Structure 1
Amino acid sequence: MIPPIEQHRPGPGARAAARLGGKVPVLDTTRLQLRGPRIYDFGAFAAILCSDRAEYMGGPLSRPEAWAEFANYTALWMLHGHGLWTIDCQFGPSCGFVLLGYEYDDPEAELGVFLTEDAEGQGFAQEAAEAVRTYAFETLDWESVVSYVDASNTRCVALMERLGAFRDAQSEAAMGRGTLVFRHVPAGGGA
């Protein structure tokens, strides 16, 4: 049974949520659309976070823990003006998520991306990360953003290298928990 909190309930509340969600910037790339999360995206979010796919993100999580993450990342839009986008790709909606946001104890906003199994290996993570990074630099006028990466997550390390991010030793030392910190800067921003 799906808990009531995860269920879409038509009516005035749902319409208000749709209006709020419509305020989240939509980013279109060649093959993707990044849009604000909706209640029906949680199934794909939970499928990732409640499985072994979340190995490098503190998971697998329980479904209530995944809901708390989903709600936190979505609420960032109202609190900070950035947050979680749902990735819709060529073959369907909710094929992944990209975040410009915070975990509670993060010292800086993070750029993170995670995909469903079906969406992996097609360059979607890089395409989504590039779009959100451009948004951070050009729309939010940020000077940098970081990605926190588990050292054993070789696929993500390779993605960060393809994105041109560089390791930030000072931030890694400050984190003090063996996390790699990749810093993204605007083109010409230098390492």
Structure 2
Amino acid sequence: MLLKCFMLVFFFAIQGEAKFGGSHSKENHGFPPSIFPFLKNTTAEQKKDFYTIIANTTATKGEKKTAADNWAQNIGGDVQTSYTEFQANLSKIQTETRANVSRIISELPNELTEVYKILDDQTVTEKQEIENLIKFYNSIADPEMKSALQFILAPRFPLGPRGPHGGKMHWFPSKKHRRQ
């Protein structure tokens, strides 16, 4: 259970970090172009070589890293500089993400205690319970904590009108969509 919670909190913590955009062109072998900005000034052959390195399923992560480092070093110039910056940014994001996950996991028991108090209160109606949960949820300023609590509380709330054409998920549905 703790492992599942950790994985979900980790997912929510990094959710805002990865910004993927653009089309998945044939030239990029299905990868969004913005993932690897250092490929911007490379030839098609150099891109292919890089994607061959990272797509190798039999190589270890260390072997892939060494091969990619060598690939960038062999090209040199702006590509190597951009690659080095990318690796530094990736390390920074990983460090920040781990710190966020640790912080959320350490604060989560306090938030869950409040949620359990609301859920265990036998002096309120179900409608009042939902209103109290919504009020508590809205009082939380930390977006990562809100995301973690959304996941934990999701089975308790309907997701809103999804229908055959999808639709917006409502974690805490508006009065219009709330069960009476």
TM-score, reference length from structure 1: 0.23
Name which one, 1 or 2, has greater alpha-carbon Rg: 2
Structure holding more helix per residue: 2
Structure holding more strand per residue: 1
Q: Report which structure shows greater RCO (CA 8 Å, sep ≥6).
A: 2
TM-score, reference length from structure 2: 0.24
